[in-house]
């Protein structure tokens, strides 16, 4: 995505942009969201299940256009990467978070 001039990082200017167009009393919080249901805490486990479902479905669409059009990967190579990413994200031994 950097090659295309885009970023998947949190935009630190979101609050300023919302206030610039008239929103007031804007509050924000960045949370750490488990990428799968590895947590022993009930709420984090549930959030991990939901996020994992979304991530598993989104990884294909987030990867295909960028990697085939910008990075010139073959469709088969992207599909292999997508499946590998899904497999890794399913591993409960990986205690990872995504910032949201």
Range of the domain at 70: 31-99
Q: Which residues pair with 97 in a beta bridge?
A: 34
Report whether pLDDT(10) > 90.
no
Which residues make Cβ contacts (< 8 Å) with residue 25, sequence separation at least 6? none
Report whether pLDDT(8) > 80.
no
The residue ranking higher by pLDDT, 54 or 9, is 54
The pLDDT of residue 34 is: 96
Q: Per the domain annotation, does 93 fall within a domain? A: yes
**Helix, strand, coil share of the chain (percent; to 5):** 50, 5, 40
Q: Per the domain annotation, does 64 fall within a domain? A: yes
Which residues make Cβ contacts (< 8 Å) with residue 20, sequence separation at least 6? none
The pLDDT of residue 86 is: 93
Report whether pLDDT(33) > 90.
yes
Q: What is the pLDDT of residues 42-94, one digit of tens each?
A: 999 999 999 999 999 999 988 998 899 999 999 999 999 999 999 999 999 99
Report whether pLDDT(37) > 90.
yes
Q: Per the domain annotation, does 87 fall within a domain? A: yes
Q: Which residues pair with 33 in a beta bridge?
A: 98
């Amino acid at each position: 995505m950097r090659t295309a001039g885009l970023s998947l990082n949190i935009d630190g200017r979101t609050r300023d942009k919302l206030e610039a167009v008239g929103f007031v009393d804007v509050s924000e919080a960045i949370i750490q969201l488990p990428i799968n249901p590895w947590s022993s805490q009930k709420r984090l486990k549930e959030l991990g299940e939901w996020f994992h479902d979304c991530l598993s479905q989104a990884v294909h669409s987030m990867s295909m256009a960028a990697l085939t059009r910008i990075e010139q990967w073959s469709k088969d190579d992207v599909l292999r990467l997508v499946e590998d990413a899904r497999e890794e994200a399913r591993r409960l031994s990986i205690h990872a978070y995504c910032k949201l």
